[in-house]
Structure 1
Amino acid sequence: MKTDDEIKRDVEAELRYDPDIDPTNIAVSVKSGVVTLAGFIPSYLQKIEAEKDAKRVQGVVGVANDLEVRLPSVDQRPDPDIARDAVAALKAQLPYSYQNFKVIVRDGWITLEGEAEWHYQKEKAEMSARGVKGCKGVINSIKITPKVAAQEIKRKIEEAFMRSAEVDAKNVQVEASDGEVVLKGTVHSWFEREQAERAAWMAPGVKRVEDRIVVQP
């Protein structure tokens, strides 16, 4: 099992290895396998990317992303311009459901509201907003309105685990009730835990996932 110092070294190396982020002002600390990212970064997309980099490192059991987005002056924009581009991005990515969502922008932070039938629509809406120039962060308040029975949700998630090469299905248990899913069991890495949660979110009708899976490297 890796020590905290070894995990810290590997996370720092992973951040330097990623050509899509500038790690100059990122400080990494590790305690009991939980990584904290502190400092500041020049875009919201880079903040998300830095978190992904940390989660990929073996031995990481959790990540606290405390990075502050400090936009360069050239990327700072008025809220109405950000809102207009966010709506356009939603329309481009979700042409048949974008009208169900509402965009609110304050001090560069984009809030998404409304209802979606599928979690992928909520996720795609957030991803489209992240890329808008001038965005400092996204608050996704879109609600999922389930239209699928609990047993059907449970069955579809278990089948997805069985198909996955990245999730050991026999070690993960699924409970479902009224669109809410609870995952239990053990996995060997944070990445495997994340993939299990992602597979659960992709099932139709899921409005909440409580991930109780324990990482045992």
Structure 2
Amino acid sequence: KPDIMALMAQADEGIFIYYNQGNNGFKEERVLQLPPSYGSNYFELADFNNDGYPDIIATNGDNGDYPPILKAYHGIRIYLNDGRNNFSEKLFLHVNGIGKAIAKDFDGDGDLDIASIAFFADYKNSPEEGFIYWENKGDLKFEPSTFKEVNTGRWLTMEAGDFDGDGDTDLILGNAVFFMSALPTSLKNKLEIKSPSVLLLKNTLR
């Protein structure tokens, strides 16, 4: 019977499992308790240590409730599963205003890499946070990189898939031109004049 895993944000933040008891009944278990200030906004399951148990990769970077303030605790977190659905944080990667992180084997070397977007990035000092590709170097160590056109949009959403049908995993980024007060004037003017609705990042592995 399929169970449900859910992220709760705003005030009482955490990740919960709802175990299917049958007959439309579910038993709730909180597996992660998170601070109310975190700004949790996304999670997914992925087996980072190849032990056969799903781990959690989660992001916290929601910064839209008040005028954005850079927060040192915003970023990507990986929580490893001990096999009994007890999760412990093993990695934190700081990314200002992060919105989503997807774990896939983008380079085809057998381990999980990460792609992340940040709608509330530090556009003044590190605008490359808007999109980061994190290459897995082993032992939960990741090397970040980006692409030169990262500032052609403000990336609010992202999906992975083989969009060109060549057998590897591509990415598509969705742009949202609003909440512009957080941006430097030059970037704000640039995006308001011309920016794409979506941007396809084609994987050249194949």
Q: TM class, shorter-chain normalised?
A: under 0.3
TM-score of the two chains, using structure 1 as the length reference: 0.27
Higher relative contact order (CA 8 A, sep 6+): 1
Give the number of the structure whose residues are more often strand, by fraction: 2
TM-score of the two chains, using structure 2 as the length reference: 0.28
